[in-house]
Amino acid sequence: MSASFWSDAERHLVRYIGASSFVPEIIERAEGSFVWTADGRKLLDFTSGQMSAILGHSHPAVVATIQRQAATLDHLFSGMLSRPVVDLARRLAESLPEPLSKVLLLTTGAESNEAAIRMAKLVTGNHEIISFARSWHGMTQAAASATYSSGRKGYGPAAPGNFAIPTPNAYRPDFTTAGGELDWRRQLDFSFEIFDAQSVGSLAACIVEPILSSGGVIDLPPGYLAELRDRVHARGGLLILDEAQTGLCRTGDWYAFQRDGVTPDILTLSKTLGAGLPLAAVVTSPEIEQAAHDRGFLFFTTHVSDPLVAAVGNTVLDVLTAEKLDVRAAELGSYLGKGLWDLATRHRVIGDVRGRGLLIGLELVEDGGRKADEIGAAVTRRCLELGLHMNVVQLPGMGGVFRIAPALTSTTGELDLGLEILDQAIGEVTAS
């Protein structure tokens, strides 16, 4: 059976993940923090699926909602509304600071970023977009044009007016203070000097992740976001925050921007909102929504405002609130971070541990002449053999960075198991 599965996969599937290959396991089912393979192996999922399943796999409350909602109302014409959609919009607005209160429900992160950029261009009348040089915002046209971490070569011109600025990486700083630490203010000065030199004076928006995930789990320094917002506003643009992976309790706050007290003009949510199901949102102010509407804002998809996934979104908010998973994420993140730093004392190949809550980056460095990305790939393979699924970011100049994002419902015992397997895998790979 498995031979025919892989033969059919090779024959019929488009390979969509660049130079990477599919995980060499057939997954039959998933529950909680684990997935099971066709040959009965149990794998601890340290990535929450695609960084999305914050309640773990097949959470009973989500399963019950899907069964109930699918039996009554699953999909509608895009101009029709249902109670789950309006309820979710209201509840998202209630979870956010003013003036974020107008919600558009979509399917994926790329869609939500596409809609946000489109809205910003329409409202401002401008077309230029700023994003980080290690950004990831999606694979649709405007989102891909604002994505610089990978996937740019070979597809022809990106949307005009897109600009990359340096990513403030405290572990690998490009601008430093006298003490050798990242001088993000000087870096930001430089960023806008090069932008202003190239801009035609038509800034529509700056779109950034509060913690760059695909870029190597890089947390913006405290104070950076406020200064970035002010510079963007001074040039007539809007600040869009992409909280696909950081929103809804993963960082220990309901939203990552709360740490900095910076409310974006437009917020995008996805991955965590559906806890693994395709649900995304754009949230903005009444003022911006009104201006967009007055100018004829047009953005809808086949699955805009679908009631099935909106009902799941409401259940996700129920569970996050009832189980206080923001507090749980902060506690588990502290526990896991300490465990990873303990590993760093035993493995010189671990260069840095960073992140917030249960979004943690573990950066490997060159060891014994072996490149970090090579070591990272080998550790990933060995972890899988030992029963742990990991995800390693491999970007030029970044080394190998593991993105560790367990479910917020994880137990300390499950985190201990992951640490134990990772310890063994790194030890075996570096010893060889």
pLDDT digits (tens, 9 = 90+) for 41-93: 999 999 999 999 999 999 999 999 999 999 999 999 999 999 999 999 999 99
Q: Over the stretch 206-265, which tens digit does the pLDDT of each residue have?
A: 999 999 999 999 999 999 999 999 999 999 999 999 999 999 999 999 999 999 999 999
- Catalytic entry in 45, 114, 128, 209: 209
Active site (annotated) includes residue 136: yes
- Catalytic entry in 271, 354, 356, 382: 271
345 to 129, 143, 349: CA distances (angstroms) = 42, 40, 10
Active site (annotated) includes residue 28: no
As a whole-number percent, the residues of the chain with pLDDT over 90 amount to 94
Contact 276, 242 (CB under 8 A): no
- Catalytic entry in 242, 243, 352, 367: 242
Question: What pLDDT sits at residue 20?
Answer: 77
73-322: what fold?
A: Aspartate Aminotransferase; domain 2 (3.40.640)
Residue 352: which of 168, 170, 179, 224 has the closest Cα? 170
Domains 2-59+324-431 and 73-322 agree in fold: no
DSSP-derived letter for residue 358 is T
pLDDT band for position 110 (cuts 50, 70, 90): very high
Question: Is pLDDT of 1 > 70?
Answer: no
Active site (annotated) includes residue 83: no
- Identify the residue whose tokens are 């671990």: 350
Question: What pLDDT sits at residue 395?
Answer: 66
The domain spans of the chain are: 2-59+324-431, 73-322
- Catalytic entry in 245, 306, 352, 394: 245
Q: Over the stretch 292-345, which tens digit does the pLDDT of each residue have?
A: 999 999 999 999 999 999 999 999 999 999 999 999 999 999 999 999 999 999
Whole-number Å distance between alpha carbons of 280 and 255 = 15
Q: What's the whole-number average pLDDT of the chain?
A: 96
Whole-number Å distance between alpha carbons of 263 and 223 = 13
pLDDT band for position 278 (cuts 50, 70, 90): very high
Contact 140, 131 (CB under 8 A): no
Question: What pLDDT sits at residue 331?
Answer: 98
Active site (annotated) includes residue 209: yes
Question: Is pLDDT of 393 > 90?
Answer: no
Helix extents (H) in 347-408: 372-386
Active site (annotated) includes residue 31: no
Whole-number Å distance between alpha carbons of 214 and 176 = 24
Active site (annotated) includes residue 371: no
| Sequence-separated (6 or more) residues with CB below 8 Å from residue 104 | 112, 115, 281, 282, 283, 299, 304
Sign of CA dihedral 288, 157, 232, 134: positive
Question: What pLDDT sits at residue 372?
Answer: 92
CATH of 2-59+324-431, one of 3.40.50.300, 3.40.640.10, 3.90.1150.10, 3.40.50.2300: 3.90.1150.10
